[in-house]
């Protein structure tokens, strides 16, 4: 274990600080915004702003790294994230908050991509799977720590804004003092819809729709918790438990999807999510235990869909094309993440306790219908042609560089695929 952990310890620590800051920042803004009387639509726009910044960061950060280098760009991204958090404390108004949240999303994407680029460079091929798994667990744990810290103090003051800024600043330290050599240029993500559609229409629709669903819940779950009068501790637990359940549930999901048609696994997960959508819409549960159990099941379902989509698309990708496909699907997920909070915020302004789950029900219903249709249009991939399912973090915690670290990628892909304007190989429609 030590021979591959020690060289990347500083990078893992920097990533952990980054994720703790993101966990704090992602919860304190809707909590404080609700306290300040911001509308549900305004709080939904925070999620839209963050997703716009995140997608923009995934696209443009590689260009900044080419100009300024990894260390300088990472330090700049962290500084911008600190500025966005502190200005959010000084400018308690939804308008500036949306812009600042976009800045945070841009910085967060850049910081994560640079750390992952270093990890890719420092990881030997034989340890790639273990490093990828360790990195995923570190990010999950750090995000949950950030979220649960919210339960330890007063959310109406300045404490958690300052803590988020401190952790963003701390993220610079391990990478700044690390002796790791500057890695190769970052992977550049492109969105070639024709090629993605040719590879897998279901993956295209699925990435967009699950981005809508997951971002609506991830952004406005806090607002829903407030609407049903949950305590801050329960709200933080609700968001953390759903994330943990989604990650752990990927283990049995992966085993099943490797043994049967992944599309049926996807339909089962989406069907479960729809059942929980309807449970919240019809019964309006407000008891803490009931809500925590239901949202844990909800997180298990919705956060397991995206990895199944990536695995399904990978099964149909030609050799050497995994990063292009997964990177394009990530941008589609991000596009859905722009739309989801906007729709959910609008509906929650009219129906505070039902609006968010009406949005997710719509997204899940469309995905279920389209998935069922695609099953009738093409035969399942044979077991011999299937790749391995790999547990990955939810889309909002992934970047194109995450996919380069994924053990399903090949060394030749990592270095050669990302020339701007390059074409996909001809893929067979899935």
Helix, coil or strand: residue 102: helix
Among candidates 234, 222, 247, which has minimal Cα distance to 26? 222
CB burial of residue 151 (10 Å; 0-12, 13-18, 19+): middle
CB burial of residue 20 (10 Å; 0-12, 13-18, 19+): buried
Q: How confident is the model at residue 117 (pLDDT cuts 50, 70, 90)?
A: confident
Retrieve residue 46's tokens. 């925070």
C-alpha 105, offset from chain centre: 11
pLDDT in tens, 2-22: 555 555 777 788 889 999 999
Can you tell me the mean pLDDT for 286-309? Answer: 94
Q: Backbone dihedral region of 39: left (phi > 0), alpha (psi from -120 to 50 degrees) or beta? A: beta
Number of H helices, E strands in the chain: 17, 0
Task: Give me the count of residues in the chain.
Answer: 430
C-alpha 311, offset from chain centre: 16
Angle CA 17–251–233, to nearest 5 = 45
DSSP state letters, 359-421: HHHHHHHHHHHHHHHHHTTSPPPPGGG---------GGG--HHHHHHSTTS-HHHHHHTT-TT
pLDDT in tens, 310-354: 888 888 776 667 777 888 888 899 999 999 999 999 999 999 999
pLDDT for residue 426: 44
Retrieve residue 136's tokens. 């995923």
Which one is predicted more confidently, 85 or 129? Answer: 85
pLDDT of residue 430 exceeding 90, the answer is: no
pLDDT for residue 395: 65
Contact residues for 133 (Cβ-Cβ < 8 A; gap 6+) = 391
CATH ID of 2-416, from 3.40.228.10, 3.40.50.150, 1.20.1250.20, 3.40.1410.10:
1.20.1250.20
Can you tell me the mean pLDDT for 38-63? Answer: 92
Distances 382 to 62, 325, 391, 406 between C-alpha atoms, Å:
37, 20, 21, 22
């Amino acid at each position: 274990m030590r021979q591959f952990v020690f060289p990347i310890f500083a990078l893992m620590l920097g990533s952990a600080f980054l994720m703790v800051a993101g966990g704090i920042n992602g919860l304190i803004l809707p909590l404080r915004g609700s306290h300040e009387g911001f509308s549900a639509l305004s709080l939904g726009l925070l999620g839209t702003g963050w997703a716009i910044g995140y997608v923009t960061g995934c696209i443009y950060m590689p260009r900044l790294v080419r100009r300024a280098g990894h260390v300088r760009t990472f330090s700049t991204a962290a500084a911008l994230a600190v500025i966005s958090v502190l200005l959010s404390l000084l400018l308690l108004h939804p308008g500036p908050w949306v812009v600042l949240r976009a800045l945070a999303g841009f910085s967060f994407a850049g910081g994560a991509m640079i750390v992952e680029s270093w990890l890719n460079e420092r990881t030997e091929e034989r340890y790639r799977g273990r490093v990828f798994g360790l990195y995923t667990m570190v990010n999950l744990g750090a995000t949950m720590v950030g979220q649960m810290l919210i339960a330890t103090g007063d959310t109406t003051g300045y404490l958690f804004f300052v803590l988020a800024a401190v952790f963003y600043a701390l993220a610079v330290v391990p990478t700044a003092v690390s002796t790791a050599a500057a890695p190769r240029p970052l992977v550049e993500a492109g969105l070639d819809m024709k090629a993605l559609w040719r590879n897998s229409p279901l993956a295209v629709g699925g990435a967009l729709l699950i981005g809508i669903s997951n971002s609506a819940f991830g952004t406005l779950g806090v607002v829903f918790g407030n609407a049903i009068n949950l305590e801050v501790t329960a709200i933080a637990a609700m968001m953390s438990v759903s994330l943990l359940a989604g990650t752990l549930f990927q283990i049995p999901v992966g085993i099943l999807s490797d043994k049967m048609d992944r599309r049926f696994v996807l339909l089962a997960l989406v069907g479960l999510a729809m059942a929980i959508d309807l449970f919240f819409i019809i019964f309006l549960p407000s008891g803490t235990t009931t809500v925590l159990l239901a949202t844990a099941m909800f997180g298990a379902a919705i956060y397991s869909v995206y990895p199944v989509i990536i695995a399904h698309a990978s099964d149909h990708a030609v050799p050497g094309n995994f990063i292009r496909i997964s990177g394009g699907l990530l941008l589609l997920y991000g596009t859905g993440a722009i739309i989801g909070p906007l729709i959910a915020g609008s509906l929650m302004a009219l129906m505070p306790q039902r609006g968010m789950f009406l949005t997710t029900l719509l997204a899940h219903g469309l995905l279920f219908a389209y998935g069922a249709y695609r099953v009738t249009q093409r035969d399942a991939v044979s077991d011999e042609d299937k790749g391995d399912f790999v547990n990955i973090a939810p889309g909002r915690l992934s970047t194109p560089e995450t996919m380069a670290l994924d053990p399903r990628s090949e060394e030749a892909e990592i270095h050669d695929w990302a020339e701007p304007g390059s074409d996909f190989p001809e893929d067979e429609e899935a």
